[in-house]
């Protein structure tokens, strides 16, 4: 269904990891309002197929999807690797290459058909000129993170409203206007993030 979302709506997927109970997606917002219908397609069809296969009814997903705006350059690369290491953090595999349902496999060995990852878009936002350079740098980032034991969970990537430089995060806060009134810009020394209020986040439920 991720492939179908790319085909139908032009969803530009930069990375992903599919687990047993959730997915992580890194997508490029192209300003065509393609993200919302893509998420509805993926979430809705997955739930329908699961319920049909298990002969059950009722809600499948615990909550609506949560979106975090990510800055470019090193912040985007860091988020890319964070998604790659999802199943390493979970203790399921020792290296992302051992998990079949993820973007790491596609970035390192792009399939000839049914590609989900938008390789040209990924290269463009990372400022990389060739696929060979992308493979090498991506592999180096992952191996460096593994060697430095950077597989610990960092909630800001999946719970914040924005992550990046202080200027970028402050700009996102300004764009959100009154809705960001009680949200705080924080920093961990490596990047800034706009903290989402947990009570507010849990209150937003949609079909």
Per-residue pLDDT tens, the chain, 207 aa: give them.
999 999 999 999 999 999 887 889 999 998 889 999 999 999 899 889 989 999 998 878 877 778 899 999 899 999 999 999 999 998 999 999 999 999 999 999 988 888 999 999 999 999 999 999 999 999 999 999 998 876 677 888 888 999 999 999 999 999 988 666 678 889 888 899 998 665 444 444 344
Do residues 96 and 104 make contact, with C-beta atoms less than 8 angstroms apart?
yes
Separation between Cα atoms, residue 70 and residue 122, nearest integer Å: 13
What number of other Cβ atoms are within 10 A of residue 173's Cβ?
18
pTM: 0.84
Separation between Cα atoms, residue 34 and residue 19, nearest integer Å: 23
Residue 206 is predicted with a pLDDT of 46
What number of other Cβ atoms are within 10 A of residue 109's Cβ?
9
> Is 165 exposed, middle or buried, given 0-12, 13-18 or 19+ CB atoms closer than 10 A?
middle
């Amino acid at each position: 269904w991720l492939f179908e979302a790319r085909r139908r709506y032009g969803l530009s997927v930069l990375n992903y990891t599919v687990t047993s109970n959730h997915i992580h997606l890194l997508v490029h917002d192209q300003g065509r309002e393609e993200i919302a219908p893509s998420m509805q397609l993926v979430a809705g069809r997955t739930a329908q197929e699961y319920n049909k296969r298990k002969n059950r009814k009722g809600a499948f997903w615990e909550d609506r999807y949560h979106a975090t705006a990510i800055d470019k350059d090193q912040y985007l690369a860091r988020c890319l690797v964070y998604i790659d290491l999802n199943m390493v953090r979970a203790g399921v595999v020792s290296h992302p290459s051992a998990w079949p349902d993820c973007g790491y496999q596609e970035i390192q060995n792009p399939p000839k058909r049914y590609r989900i990852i938008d390789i040209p878009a990924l290269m463009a936002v990372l400022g990389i000129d060739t696929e060979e350079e992308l493979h090498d740098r991506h592999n180096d980032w992952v191996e460096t993170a593994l060697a430095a034991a950077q597989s610990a969970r960092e909630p800001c990537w999946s719970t914040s409203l924005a992550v990046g430089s202080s200027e970028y995060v402050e700009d996102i806060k300004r764009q959100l206007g009154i809705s960001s009134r009680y949200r705080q810009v924080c920093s961990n020394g490596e990047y800034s993030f706009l903290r989402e209020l947990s009570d507010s986040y849990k209150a937003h439920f949609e079909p």
